[in-house]
């Protein structure tokens, strides 16, 4: 029987994962190789169509190695989802803005977040998790907490700086709700268009426009009048 050919990962772009995420880059770490193989198969085929045989072959390890790290397909699926959420938000946590202005900071945050959530991998992860939510409700909840919920927290911390400078007023809804509103304004229309038009990729100009519109609407709602006048 001829050896199974490994799928080729897409060439790295602004919208795709770095090449370091490929299975072949993890030859000395079998647990990571299994997780990378699971990522490749689950994101391509979904949970039901994926098998441990496929994951084993994609990872380039034995079946006993797969089961030594993950007792079943469900555990492997859970680990893959959580790892993807953590990896995706690493970029957001590393953003540093120094003394940049509030509008610049929010637009850069919005653009960086769109680069993540509109990537083919993130869209595939979203589809898989939503499709399996009725079967794995706890996993779906953990996906929200580790992904969108964590992003809300990152933005909330970011807004603290603007609040301390007396630029924003969240007295109407509170800081946490304002952060969630911002994240949803950034992600909502952009993600929906990409999910429902899978063969069409938004240009950089379109992503910039989505980011700008979200920031402009957010500042119109929460920026203090004096701060607007100083612009």
Are the C-beta atoms of residues 129 and 140 closer than 8 Å to each other?
A: yes
The DSSP output letter for 223 is B
Are the C-beta atoms of residues 11 and 32 closer than 8 Å to each other?
A: no
pLDDT of residue 98: 67
pLDDT of residue 180: 98
Q: Environment class of residue 57 by beta-carbon count within 10 Å: exposed (0-12), middle (13-18) or buried (19+)?
A: middle
For the domain 19-73, what is the CATH superfamily, name and number?
Answer: Homeodomain-like (1.10.10.60)
Nearest to 16 by CA among 118, 119, 117, 110: 119
Confidence check: pLDDT of 205 > 60: yes
Retrieve residue 81's tokens: 């989802």
CB atoms within 10 A of CB 222: 22
What are the tens digits of pLDDT across the range 96-122?
Answer: 776 778 999 999 999 999 999 999 999
Q: For residue 103, what are the contacts with CB-CB under 8 A and spacing of at least 6?
A: 215, 219, 231
pTM for this model (two decimals): 0.80
**CATH number of this structure's domain 81-226, picked from the four choices 3.40.47.10, 2.130.10.10, 1.10.287.110, 1.10.357.10:** 1.10.357.10
The DSSP output letter for 185 is H
What are the tens digits of pLDDT across the range 43-89?
Answer: 999 999 999 999 999 999 999 999 999 999 999 999 999 899 888 88
What are the tens digits of pLDDT across the range 134-168?
Answer: 999 999 999 999 999 999 999 999 998 888 889 99
pLDDT of residue 96: 73
* Structural domain boundaries in the chain: 19-73, 81-226
């Amino acid at each position: 029987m001829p050896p199974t050919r490994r799928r080729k990962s897409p060439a790295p772009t602004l919208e795709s994962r770095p090449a370091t995420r490929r299975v072949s880059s993890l030859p000395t770490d079998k647990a990571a190789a299994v997780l990378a193989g699971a990522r490749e198969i689950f994101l391509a085929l979904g949970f039901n169509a994926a098998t441990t045989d496929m994951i084993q072959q994609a990872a380039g390890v034995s079946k006993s190695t797969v089961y030594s790290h993950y007792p079943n397909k469900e555990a492997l699926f859970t680990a893959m989802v959580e790892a993807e959420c953590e990896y995706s938000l690493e970029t957001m946590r590393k953003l540093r803005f120094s003394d940049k202005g509030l509008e610049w900071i929010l637009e850069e945050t919005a653009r960086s977040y769109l680069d993540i959530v509109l990537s083919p991998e993130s869209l595939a992860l979203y589809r898989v998790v939503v499709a399996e939510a009725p079967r794995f409700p706890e996993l779906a909840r953990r996906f929200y907490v580790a992904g969108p919920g964590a992003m809300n927290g990152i933005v909330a911390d970011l807004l603290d700086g603007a609040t301390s400078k007396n630029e924003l007023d969240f007295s109407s809804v509170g800081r946490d709700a304002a952060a969630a509103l911002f994240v949803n304004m950034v992600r909502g229309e952009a993600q929906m268009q990409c999910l429902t038009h899978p063969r069409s990729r938004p240009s950089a100009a379109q992503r910039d426009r989505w980011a700008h519109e979200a920031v402009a609407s957010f500042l119109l709602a929460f920026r203090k009048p004096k701060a607007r006048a100083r612009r």
